[in-house]
Structure 1
């Protein structure tokens, strides 16, 4: 039986399948945050501490950055070193000069070594909420500009107490509010500025560059190639895309760098090939650098103890950072490692992606979610330096980590602590920027332990085959796998409801409340909206008296982008909608219900990541063929514990996707940063970094 530890590289779906996403031209969608991630803004009551920690991390990075760099001069024109740098960038991109010649002088500073542990680490604290006066000022301006006044709260949260003044001065800053599109910001600007709101306005081009890179981050990229950004600006009617990019670099809106690894992850060994010039936002560039520094610190300062036991136990005893790969059955190995560490008198914690994972591990594992660990609502707490009060941290579902969350975890590791990142490399990458787990695997800077424990039974055999690109016919004597062919989307919805309500409970013995439907996206004739409407009508009919929801409705709640809680509606009051999420009482504030809550009988594969159910019904209508990839199928089929029904209407597109579509890549920098920091001079000479690396580019500017 093939092992599930192999398989295609993790990549993410565009969770707005069925609702055309605004991808950057020339960039294949590398996976998006789930649909609710784009709609539900930050700052929800359940996620305030987590967001505060992110802000603390960024502030700390900014302080570090300010200590070693000169301020960035802004202006309409470039001159001096800035002009020289950008001329060199264009020369490299056009092929006129090789990168080594273009940036040979002045000599760049050597890459800094991995720093010692910081004396203070970010400790989450509740951020201040915008005052009523700030929200009222923004609401008044939005009404004046013809924009929905419902955006006032989010705008005040994103732009601060002076949000009204900020928007009056620069209406295109409205683009920083989640869910706002360029055409909406353009209309708002025209209403406020009249004929002065031209397509080449520097305020507009700066906002568009930021928006493009934020959209790319939702698709998994931490940076984009400069030509792709210019092409996207041209599509948005920017009259001088090249000048817009130059201005964004000069103003510090974006960073420009060149790292030596192409976006497919391969080294640029051929000197005749140019290394892509990348543009990135400070937020993701600095998080990626901070993460690389922290991982390098764990590698270099980890303990070197001799522990007796399986390979994973021995590796964790001797190293500060270990990667563990395998399928669902292999999760028992890192959990057993934590138990071994506790027997040795060490403080060991197991963290998972979702509350569903906590329940599956059982009470003996004493697992917590990553979000709860970071915000301090569960886990060991922190010591006087702000580090986790633990000796070993085991993180399951590690492919779901984005660069910012991973950076916070690593920055919070104590000196001498051990970190084990475990997960299945074949699943979809998490919603958010980066591919932390895959980049760490590719960098090979720490021990990698591959589980030899296959997932059992017909379901394990089926999913293992998918992981290596083979969709095999598997004997299922206990009806563990059932294929239900359909002709069109309408029949797909009908058969799905029939399976959940009648067939699976009767033939398999799994009740409807333990059966999960997974489909390719929210929109379309067989997306989550249509399926949830049909399932609600049969399982919990009602008028939706609480903002479209009734007590007993199954729901999916996004307290923060990329994080989904599944639960059931209990009641509603002035505070909001009360949910039971895996036994945890949760309140969705009234103002967040519309944007952060969906019915949850049917989910996308991204929403279902890190969770499993006794029975799963995967819906593949004919119009889903182009959205399928090996990681998507692997993830969706792998959510089933006992039974999998596949409502199949894509004909040969399914085996074709498994065999030929390993999933789109993500443009990231973590692998290169790690390899540079941990290169051994004697065995692997460290290459001289190019001036486009974030800190050096800003010094040149």
Structure 2
């Protein structure tokens, strides 16, 4: 390969990190006027969550939820912006929590009400006078006054009074850490401020639970939470937890541990009664603490899954017709069709090649008269799957789909976000349920508990749900491990594809999935290893591969080659690589908030949702993007928070998508960030060619062989245990 001049700028020091954290911050509430897709999605999801909370309240007693800067103010503002922009992930607070606790028998689930586009009301933006009042309080405490809108929105009505009465409420703002809130509290309270203040104990407890959620946990074991509070300087951690629970800011649950049989479900409020019912023999229990929103979502998800697993699905055809459809299918597709014929909930596992099996199921379901749809994680996955499914006149073209701009019928494929927002898919019936008989959810490992709860709650009685995906990829950005928990719970049929991904790339990725990094024969240069000595050489060789070597030797142009690296920060993070790639591939002054027409970008309208696209132009409306053929306008005030350059992505941003060529960059300081799921996901994004810029030496095979996914504490398996088949 030819030698080219260095194009990277000096990058800030730091080790790239990876994890299940949210990579983009949430946006502000929409102003009055026309509602964009992203705003409609946020509002629709909020409305659904409110319905879930109301339903849970009916089932049990309601639970009340209690210019120029320097020094600490500058540090605080920098920390907030770093988390909001995705430059720094939330700290991995808990290293080794294990899955856990329980749930009572299911009750009938009410169908959600329909959500009309533009009619959903979200959280109103804080009034200017409220923001000004909060700004004054922040100024008194030495905190950056520019945080006032976020604080006013996070704390709601009377925000300035709440902040003055309890300065540690500053921890409600993303990016603020306990030591920074402590400094703010000292400035406001003076001698009254102390580490034993019960307000501090409660706020730090909630903050730790939020950090745990960013790391993927839906609840935490009590000993882990108490230990973390002690590390944060809380003198009486047990009291802090009890105060938080008493104020309704967290919920506590218990799980009776048994070697055999299902654990007895119980709410922690009834812990004493449960212990009395045990008789003379005391049984060990596991206590968990979690935030209300995730507890409600996980319980609602368990109810919805149990309803589907226990109910008889509508046939949509005779048993003989289903059997003939299964007999005509090839391989595991026939098994999948037979399982779906008789069950309301089915799991399907396999790699990229196995997508042909859900496609065959969708085709068979349509032939039997079922209203069947598939939902992918993102628009790239939607387009890829749509190409496998014959177009049907029963579907309406999704925005940006291959058939959206012609007169041919659309494939019945949408995105999960578009389905829930009502901008794609079949729409909802008069009762508010999705107007379908069968839903196939692709990329199922990317479902967090809240999204999965919304989906299951939206399905009508008698519908079928198929969750399909590759269990070896990275888990969801949001809390939970829904697909993995369901596979472990074994409450429904599971169909494993026997169709391997083809060629040297398929052989390489399959080996990684079982912990082996094998050398594969690649006569067509399907896999190329590019060793590097340092960060500067890694950036240089990456740019050289994308701009010159891969187009020349493989025939894949730069715009179809994706770079994947472990983190955003550091000398070889996404920001450094994107700066170098932009300078080579689309140089320009960045006159539109750092962007120029032709720049490759990723847009995150909501946390965890990534839309690859290209900058078209900018005007008074905002930044105009083309995302998989769909026109997207990002308001000017949202550009910095939700748009970043996209020549280089993290593996979490890339999951659910595939490209003809992929360059995976593994700098020397990335060794600690590597795990088997990360490597499997990054390497598995390539269709035709994979280049590995390799600077981690033996850390790569060690990660593949010895570093599994980080454990997550979730309650779903135990919530499901007493509900399915025996309730």
Task: Compute the TM-score of the two structures, normalised by the length of structure 1.
Answer: 0.83
Q: Aligned Cα RMSD in Å?
A: 2.7
**Is the 1:41–1:178 contact (alpha carbons within 8 Å) kept by the matching residues of 2?**
no
The answer for the alignment partner of 2:146 in structure 1 is 150
**1:369 pairs with 2:415:** yes
DSSP 3-state at the match of 1:525: coil
**Is the 1:122–1:412 contact (alpha carbons within 8 Å) kept by the matching residues of 2?**
no
The answer for the alignment partner of 2:110 in structure 1 is 118
The answer for the alignment partner of 2:197 in structure 1 is 201
The answer for the alignment partner of 1:55 in structure 2 is 46
DSSP 3-state at the match of 2:611: strand
DSSP 3-state at the match of 1:372: helix
CA distance in 2, matches of 1:72, 1:570: 48
DSSP 3-state at the match of 2:383: helix
Specify whether residues 506 and 260 from structure 1 end up closer, same or farther in structure 2 by C-alpha distance, changes over 3 A only. farther
CA distance in 2, matches of 1:591, 1:189: 30
The answer for the alignment partner of 1:178 in structure 2 is 174
The answer for the alignment partner of 1:357 in structure 2 is 381
The structure whose RCO (Cα within 8 Å, separation 6+) is larger is 1
CA distance in 2, matches of 1:663, 1:267: 25
Q: 386-395 vs 179-188, which deviates more? A: 179-188
* 1:384-443 Cα deviation digits (max 9, x unpaired): 111001111110000000000000000000111111000000000010100000000000
Specify whether residues 139 and 592 from structure 1 end up closer, same or farther in structure 2 by C-alpha distance, changes over 3 A only. farther
CA distance in 2, matches of 1:343, 1:62: 39
**Is the 2:44–2:421 contact (alpha carbons within 8 Å) kept by the matching residues of 1?**
yes
The answer for the alignment partner of 1:331 in structure 2 is 355
Specify whether residues 260 and 475 from structure 1 end up closer, same or farther in structure 2 by C-alpha distance, changes over 3 A only. farther
Cα offset, 1:133, TM superposition? 3.3
CA distance in 2, matches of 1:74, 1:398: 32
Which structure 2 residues correspond to residues 195-274 of structure 1 after superposition, within 5 A? 195-260=191-256, 274=284
The answer for the alignment partner of 1:480 in structure 2 is 526
Cα offset, 1:499, TM superposition? 0.2
Which structure 2 residues correspond to residues 553-568 of structure 1 after superposition, within 5 A? 553-568=599-614
**1:292 pairs with 2:302:** yes
Specify whether residues 126 and 515 from structure 1 end up closer, same or farther in structure 2 by C-alpha distance, changes over 3 A only. farther
Specify whether residues 290 and 622 from structure 1 end up closer, same or farther in structure 2 by C-alpha distance, changes over 3 A only. same
Among 554, 559, 573, which residue is 1:527 paired with? 573
**Is the 1:18–1:527 contact (alpha carbons within 8 Å) kept by the matching residues of 2?**
no
Which structure 2 residues correspond to residues 17-28 of structure 1 after superposition, within 5 A? 18=14
CA distance in 1, matches of 2:247, 2:603: 38
**Is the 1:72–1:251 contact (alpha carbons within 8 Å) kept by the matching residues of 2?**
no
Specify whether residues 228 and 320 from structure 1 end up closer, same or farther in structure 2 by C-alpha distance, changes over 3 A only. same
CA distance in 1, matches of 2:257, 2:677: 23
Among 21, 25, 30, which residue is 1:33 paired with? 21
Structure 2 unmatched ranges of 5 or more: 1-11, 31-35, 67-101, 265-280, 327-333, 388-401, 403-409
The answer for the alignment partner of 1:319 in structure 2 is 343
**Is the 1:382–1:389 contact (alpha carbons within 8 Å) kept by the matching residues of 2?**
yes
**1:64 pairs with 2:55:** yes
The answer for the alignment partner of 1:78 in structure 2 is none
Q: How many residues align?
A: 620
CA distance in 2, matches of 1:570, 1:146: 41
**1:439 pairs with 2:467:** no
* 1:48-79 Cα deviation digits (max 9, x unpaired): 3333333334333433343354466999xxxx
Cα offset, 1:211, TM superposition? 1.1
Which structure 2 residues correspond to residues 565-584 of structure 1 after superposition, within 5 A? 565-584=611-630
**Is the 2:262–2:718 contact (alpha carbons within 8 Å) kept by the matching residues of 1?**
no
Specify whether residues 638 and 647 from structure 1 end up closer, same or farther in structure 2 by C-alpha distance, changes over 3 A only. same
The answer for the alignment partner of 2:640 in structure 1 is 594
DSSP 3-state at the match of 2:592: coil
Which structure 2 residues correspond to residues 335-484 of structure 1 after superposition, within 5 A? 335-361=359-385, 362=387, 363=402, 365-484=411-530
The answer for the alignment partner of 1:136 in structure 2 is 132
**Is the 2:16–2:670 contact (alpha carbons within 8 Å) kept by the matching residues of 1?**
no
**Is the 1:628–1:654 contact (alpha carbons within 8 Å) kept by the matching residues of 2?**
yes
Cα offset, 1:19, TM superposition? 5.9
Cα offset, 1:645, TM superposition? 0.2
Which structure 2 residues correspond to residues 662-681 of structure 1 after superposition, within 5 A? 662-680=708-726
**Is the 2:37–2:421 contact (alpha carbons within 8 Å) kept by the matching residues of 1?**
no
CA distance in 2, matches of 1:180, 1:283: 21
Which structure 2 residues correspond to residues 161-176 of structure 1 after superposition, within 5 A? 161-176=157-172
CA distance in 1, matches of 2:463, 2:340: 10
CA distance in 2, matches of 1:119, 1:653: 50
The answer for the alignment partner of 2:287 in structure 1 is 277
Task: Compute the TM-score of the two structures, normalised by the length of structure 2.
Answer: 0.81
CA distance in 2, matches of 1:647, 1:621: 8
Cα offset, 1:548, TM superposition? 1.8
**Is the 1:463–1:637 contact (alpha carbons within 8 Å) kept by the matching residues of 2?**
yes
CA distance in 1, matches of 2:189, 2:465: 53
* 1:491-544 Cα deviation digits (max 9, x unpaired): 111100100010000000111111000001111211111111111111112222
Q: 181-190 vs 316-325, which deviates more? A: 181-190
Among 524, 549, 565, which residue is 1:503 paired with? 549
CA distance in 2, matches of 1:266, 1:199: 44
